[in-house]
Amino acid sequence: YPHIPPSAIESFHAHLASSTRVLALLGAGLSASSGLPTFRGAGGLWRTHEATDLATPQAFSADPGLVWQFYSYRRHMALNVKPNMAHYALAEFAKKMPGFQTLSQNVDGLSPRAGHPAEQLKLLHGSLFDVKCHNFFCNYVETANYTDPIVPALALPTDEDVDLTTNAAREASREARELDIADISVALPDVPETALPHCPSCGGLLRPGVVWFGESLPAGVLETVDAFLEDPLGVDLILVIGTSARVFPAAGYIEIARSRGARVAVINTEMDLPPGQLTKDDWFFQGDAAVIVPELLR
């Protein structure tokens, strides 16, 4: 990789060879080269909305149809892309190193699909393919729901739906083309609340099983992470891959790992960590995670 001095890769490999307890903190940049947009920066806008503004319980309460269309679109996108070489390299590395724990902020299902062992993959922010009841008194949850669209009303519109005049003139053989509802020039279908997914247990609205701002991370996940970080053996290394490290508690794991002895290796296309986060003993490997991670874990 042109930007990276071979000596940095060598010193990283030397440290990795003597490491037994390794963490990885994964963010949206890991899946960027698979074709999924990140949250911040270019691609962080969905129609006129900041992706992070839609990822809140307030947005869902105010307009569940809009928020479901956003998530239905993301489920569809995620199901139609493939894990990249970095997802595979991390999965293979996990199988080789029992003391490797992966903390993923990603909800796209690409690490599981790359064969990453489940016990070494903690989904900090849930999954697009989990669905749960929105009613606080109901604990209905569904995992591994890959139905796309999850209900017929959330199907992406096609050019036949919106362009009836040219449709009449179109040759019968041509198939309806799916429209990209992330594109502001495509009218967003109006989805009535009754047509959204409903809870088979209490009849309430179902919602995506992801962690929104202001919500707690899954309790079991937090326990595993805390146990790993508090282990008397300490932490040898933390790989910080494709994340802007702005969202807590995830971002805080970098400094906690450092305080437990870990060296820090950042893999990112940009120098994007909050100012002052990177110290002179850290490695910064600038570039596409899909290229650099396989090289580092070789």
CA angle 52, 55, 278 (to 5 degrees): 45
Nearest to 232 by CA among 261, 205, 201, 194: 261
The number of helix segments (H) and strand segments (E) in the chain equals 11, 11
**Is residue 90 at the binding interface for ligand BJW, with CB under 6 A as the rule?**
no
Q: Please check if 138 is assigned to a binding site.
A: yes
Pairing type for strands 49-50 and 126-133 reads unpaired
By CB under 6 A, is residue 110 in contact with ligand BJW?
no
- 286 lies in the binding site for ligand BJW (CB under 6 A): no
* Shortest Cβ 223–ligand BJW spacing (Å): 15
Strands 237-241, 263-268: pairing kind: parallel
CB of 26 to ligand BJW, least distance (A): 8
Q: Among positive and negative, which fits the CA dihedral 244, 248, 249, 254?
A: positive
Residue 83 makes contact with ligand BJW by CB under 6 A: no
Is 125 an active-site residue? Answer: yes
Q: Pick left, alpha or beta for residue 214 (phi over 0 → left; psi -120 to 50 → alpha; otherwise beta).
A: left
Joined tokens for residue 204: 């309430």
In 76-147, the DSSP E strands lie at 100-104, 121-123, 126-133, 141-142
Please say which residue, 29 or 109, places its beta carbon nearer to ligand BJW: 29
Per-residue mark of binding to ligand BJW, 29-48 (x: CB under 6 A): x--xx----xxx--------
Interface pick for ligand BJW out of 89, 289, 296, 297 (rule CB under 6 A): 289
Which residue lies nearer to Zn ion by CB, 76 or 132?
132
Structural tokens at position 298: 């070789």
When asked if residue 142 is in the footprint of Zn ion (CB under 5 A), the reply is no
Binding-site member from 199, 210, 217, 257 for Zn ion (CB under 5 A): 199
Q: Is 204 in the site for Zn ion (CB under 5 A)?
A: yes
What distance in Å separates the CA atoms of residue 64 and residue 134, rounded to the nearest whole number? Answer: 10
* Span interacting with ligand BJW, options 23-31, 155-163, 171-179, 230-238, rule CB under 6 A: 23-31
Q: Which of residues 96-135 bind Zn ion (CB under 5 A)?
A: 133, 135
Stretch that binds Zn ion, among 100-108, 138-146, 165-173, 215-223 (CB under 5 A): 138-146
CA distance to 15, 42, 66, 109, 132, per residue, from 48 (Å): 45, 13, 12, 26, 27
Instruction: Identify the three-state secondary structure at position 142.
Output: strand
Task: Report what 294 binds from ligand BJW, Zn ion, none; CB cut-off 5-8 Å by kind.
Answer: none
The CA distance from 176 to 167, in Å, is: 9
Angle at CA of residue 255, ends 267 and 107, nearest 5°: 55
Considering only the stretches 116-124, 148-156, 167-175, 204-212, report the one whose residues sit in contact with Zn ion under the rule CB under 5 A. 204-212
Question: Which member of 8, 40, 140, 167 binds Zn ion (CB under 5 A)?
Answer: 140
CA–CA distances in Å: residue 103 to residues 27, 47, 55, 255: 9, 30, 20, 14
Quick one: which of 8, 51, 138, 256 contacts Zn ion (CB under 5 A)? 138
133 annotated binding-site participant: yes
Residues assigned a catalytic role:
125
The contact set with Zn ion (CB under 5 A) reads 133, 135, 138, 140, 199, 201-202, 204
The contact set with ligand BJW (CB under 6 A) reads 27-29, 32-33, 38-40, 52, 55, 105, 107, 125, 210-216, 242-244, 246-249, 267-270, 272, 288-289
